[in-house]
Chains A and B, each alone.
Chain A
Amino acid sequence: MTEKIAVAGTSTIESSPLVDAPLNGAITSNAAANREASAVAKRRATATARTRRWLRTNLFSSPLMGTLSVLTLLLLGFALPPLFRWAFLDAVFDGSNRSVCGAGACWAFIADRLEQFAYGRYTPAERWRVDIALALLAGFAALSLWSRNPHRALSVLLLVTLCPAIATVLLIGGVFGLPFVPTDQWGGLSLNIILTFATVVLALPLGVVLAMGRRSQLSVIRWSCTAFIEVLRGVPLLTVLFMAMVMLPMFLPEGVTFDRLVRAIIGLSLFVAAYFAEIIRAGLQGIPKGQYEAAAAIGLGFWGAHRLIVLPQAFRLVVPGIVNTVIDLFKDTTLVSIIGLFDLLGVVGQSIKDPNWLGLGREGYAFAALVFFICCYAMSLLSLRIERRIRSASH
């Protein structure tokens, strides 16, 4: 650390002659030019010195480190150029079937299939409805996260009530002159986003109930909530999804069937609610006892104290944890491709079996990975920012 400060210090001192140069511009132009040249030379010298120092501290601090650096460089030198050549230099970006593909990546496949990757088999003429629904959700999500929004609580409320209602009507249609689009035509990345959003909206209230139930004085409620949470946290999501798909219909009256998408959302919600519950419980435990006592002292009852004092503070504490769970959920929505829904991963898997584009698995999955990476990385940066804001607010 000290090394870095020293480097920064020298750089400001050494660069001061450059700042001086224009001040002395009154002297003859020849001398000025000379000065300029020497200043440039000096700057170059200090730059090389700085580079050398940086190299010494960061790459060659000891013989072992030097060897490791050289080995890593060699490894990167072997791996990166062919990868670069594959992905860009030899790549084909345009074409209508796999006959255009050469030695490099065949991004023409992605370009050709981009619409399906985004919307699945959603009726092409109606895709603007998906755009509007997602834009609505994104807009309200941004409003709810914007710290200087004067009506934040209202935005959150609308985000979890009005938005899902409008989005559902828009996406399904069948009313207001919108043609009906059955859910088995939904797909692509928009399905991942819809699944994530619907699951969060359902799982968050359930998570609060489970978290409070697990802390209840009433042993029947406490034990049943604990059992629910621990069972769902102890089994893989895939088995919960299978359960929702094959076991749930067995427990419903004859003739009552849910849509496959709804069943997937139920499975995801039950699973994620158990994780939310544990995060919220941690938040509740993080509230000092004094807060409860103060709430009781001003005459609030159990529910009033929780609604007005405890839960708002607990929620603020657990926002980063919730965002991290949402990131995991977003990644895990790809599991629905195993149970026969066509999310982005499912659409890619289907597309690479298309005779026109047979065997382009690498390109397809690399593209899907890039899309997921961008979304998840952005969300994790957001989570870090929120965490920092909470930390600075609490100090």
Chain B
Amino acid sequence: MAGKSRKGGSSLWPMKASHALLMQGVALLIGGLVIAWFAQNAASNLARRSMQLDFGFLGSPAGFSMPFQILSFGPTDTYFMALVTAFANTLLVSAMGVVTSTVVGLGLGVMRLSQNWLLSTVSGAIVELVRNTPQLLQIVFWYVGVLQVLPQARQSLSFGDVAFLNIRGLFLPAPIGGSWSSLLLITFFLSLALAPLARRYLPLHPRRSSLLWLVPPVLLIALAFSLKGWSLPALKGFNFAGGMVLPPELVALWAGLSLYTAAFVAEIVRASVEAIGKGQVEAANSLGLSSWLTLRLVVLPQALRLMIPQLTNQYLNLIKSSSLGAAIAYPEIVQIFAGTVLNQSGRAIEVMVIVMGVFLIINLAASAALAQLNERVALKER
């Protein structure tokens, strides 16, 4: 009866079956009455505005355009397409944020752990400063205090003459796809997703099955060769042509999300490594393992086990925080739906249900995927 022991002492005060039924019935009744009251109010409110609960508006043309999108979207497209496009923008900034926050956070965490006083102090100062100021403030600061005071296109900050930063955004080189590129790109993502599954279910020898991990890098190299070349941004008149541009809103949101999450990732890394008993390192040393092997075979596997659930939480927080893009008009799902679409259509209930539903689905999917990963690295106790 694992369920009973989990619920603490409630089994000590058993409830008569009839009692339990009665109480649940009362709870259901009260809940039902409250919901019915809400529903009735909503119905009369909607009737007064001669509206009804109807998701059919998703099929009508949106009539607005977005300042930035990775999917194609125009004013003649439907509200549903606006939802999909805004969703893609949310996913884009979240994915960028997860990658950079992990890299920066690992860097800061390792710096914090280092014996070098200067490195650990600098890292500690950054982490404390970032953790103790509101995330929204940071995002707005990046936008208003950093990106909006950048120079015009002619005086752009240049990074090796391939990337440029100015008030219109970050200009990056863009790959020009060859005939095979898009196919290879899709195969690459598929291989990333399928490699763990194949490794698990294909009847291969463990040693040979780890060769499966070579497939994605090989595809990536093939992809690099399939490109026709790169389109570099170049100054033409008053603006840049060629390449691709990340608008200032995206850059500010990306920077704000990444740095804030990175500070928390750094703390997780530090706490997890410090939680590994000193005896573990000493035992590894006395076995004659080098410091690199100690790290790789003893410290990291144990620290990773502690880190993964906490990192999962941080990534989920990052995805949710991408909604703060609404404050700086980055066209993500809250800005587009709870802002523009709600104002245009006046459908408060439908719009909020859709927005919250989308975030719930992202969150449930992400936490399910990461729970799978956690299960694989968790301690297998006999």
Residues of A within 8 A of B (CB): 57-59, 61, 65, 68-69, 72-73, 76, 215-221, 224, 231, 234-239, 242-243, 246-247, 249-254, 284-285, 287, 289, 291-293, 295-296, 301-302, 305, 310, 327, 331-332, 334-335, 337-338, 345, 349, 352, 361-362, 365-366, 368-369, 372-373, 376-377, 380
Contact = CB atoms under 8 A, between A and B. Distances in A.
A215 B41 contact: no
Contact of A292 (B8, B41, B136, B359): B8
Contacts of B338: 238-239, 242, 246
Given A216-B10, A246-B338, 7 more contacts: A59-B117, A65-B115, A218-B20, A221-B24, A238-B323, A284-B8, A305-B12
A361 B144 contact: yes
Interface in B5-46: 5-13, 15, 20, 23-24, 27-28, 31, 38, 41-42, 44-46
Contact of B364 (A234, A285, A334): A234
- Which residue of A236, A247, A302, A310 has the most chain B CB atoms within 10 A of its CB atom? A236
Nearest to B361: A234
Interface of B: 5-13, 15, 20, 23-24, 27-28, 31, 38, 41-42, 44-46, 48, 114-119, 122, 128-129, 131-138, 140-141, 144-145, 148-149, 320-321, 323-324, 326-327, 334, 338, 342, 348-349, 352, 355-356, 359-360, 363-364
Contacts of A239: 323, 334, 338, 352, 355-356, 359
A365 B10 contact: no
Nearest to A359: B149
A58 B116 contact: yes
Contacts of B46: 250
Contacts of A58: 115-118
A361 B27 contact: no
Q: Is the interface of B mostly helix, strand, loop or mixed?
A: helix
Nearest to B128: A377
- Which residue of A72, A254, A310 has the most chain B CB atoms within 10 A of its CB atom? A72
Contact of B41 (A224, A251, A293, A352): A251
A250 B28 CA distance: 23
A292 B360 CA distance: 36
B145 to A, nearest CB: 4
A211 to B, nearest CB: 11
Contacts of B122: 72, 76
Contacts of B31: 224
Contacts of A376: 131-133
A110 B148 CA distance: 20
Contacts of A361: 141, 144-145, 148-149
14 contacts: A57-B115, A68-B119, A215-B7, A217-B7, A221-B27, A236-B321, A251-B38, A292-B9, A361-B144, A361-B148, A362-B141, A362-B144, A373-B132, A373-B133
A234 B115 contact: no
B263 to A, nearest CB: 12
Nearest to A284: B8
A377 B132 contact: yes
Contact of A234 (B5, B7, B148, B359): B359
Contact of B48 (A251, A254, A285, A380): A254
Nearest to A376: B132
A247 B116 CA distance: 54
A109 to B, nearest CB: 13
B134 A247 contact: no
B10 A215 contact: yes
